[in-house]
Amino acid sequence: VCDPVLGDEGKLYVPQDLVSVYQEKVVPVASMLTPNQFEVELLTGLRITSEQDGLKACNTLHSAGPRKVIITSALIEDKLLLIGSYKRTEEQPPEQFKIEIPKIPAYFTGTGDLTTALLLGWSNKYPDNLEKAAELAVSSLQALLRRTVEDYKRAGFDPASSSLEIRLIQSQDEIRNPRVTCNAMKYK
């Protein structure tokens, strides 16, 4: 699994030279790739302004190697989406889906890493059902983020005022046994 931690929200975290290293060396050997919108745009050279753009970017990445591509967060037409795509065989077209993610009005540290970890864990449990793995991962993450916001509010902090450290330990039950609150919708 490769989470190409290149940047987010239009800003690179790494030197520009590393983008080509990911494109040429890392992406081709990944079985699952979990970029955010900014990273998928860097890796494919495609601008993502619609769901169709996201699906096209997934197809471009499939042709580079990974059988599973999950754009973990894409802001499209004021909706936050996860867009998933997987190829069961090389010959078949990919099966693709989306999950609309409820926006939580706060900024969190570590959500990308946690999303990839949850996708990896649930994909191992359900290796032939990426939609289910993604539903469980997103639902876990949403429960954890809601708990984080509630904890900060109880402690007297304004969750919108700074970056929030996610409450992993306090959310173990939501991570292990999430209630599915975010459902996948297949693209035709």
Nearest CA to 41 out of 4, 87, 90 is that of 4
Domain boundaries, the chain: 7-186
42 burial type by CB count under 10 A (0-12 exposed, 13-18 middle, 19+ buried): buried
Closest of 76, 130, 67, 66 to residue 103, by C-alpha = 76
Predicted confidence (pLDDT) per residue in 65-86, tens digit: 999 999 999 999 999 999 999 9
Token pair in block for residue 66? 């990974």
The whole-number pLDDT of residue 72 equals: 96
Q: How far apart are CA 97 and CA 38, in angstroms?
A: 19
162 vs 170: which has the higher pLDDT: 170
What gap in Å lies between CA 177 and CA 161, rounded to an integer? 31
Q: Which of 113, 128, 151, 158 is catalytic?
A: 113
CB proximity list for 63: less than 8 A, separation 6 or greater: none
Catalytic residue list contains 151? no
pTM over 0.85? The answer is yes
Q: pLDDT value at position 25?
A: 96
Give the mean model confidence (pLDDT) for residues 98-117: 91
Distance, in Å, from the CA atom of 40 to the CA atom of 34, rounded to the nearest integer, reads 9
**Residue 186 CB neighbour total at 10 angstroms:** 10
pLDDT of residue 68: 97
Rounded CA gap, 124 and 108, in Å? 26
Pick the CATH number of 7-186 from 3.40.462.20, 3.40.50.720, 3.40.1190.20, 1.10.10.10: 3.40.1190.20
pLDDT digits (tens, 9 = 90+) for 136-169: 999 999 999 999 999 999 999 988 888 888 999 9
User: What's the pLDDT band for 173 if we cut at 50, 70, 90?
Assistant: very high
Work out the mean pLDDT of the chain and round it to a whole number.
Answer: 94
Query: Does 108 score more than 90 pLDDT?
Result: no
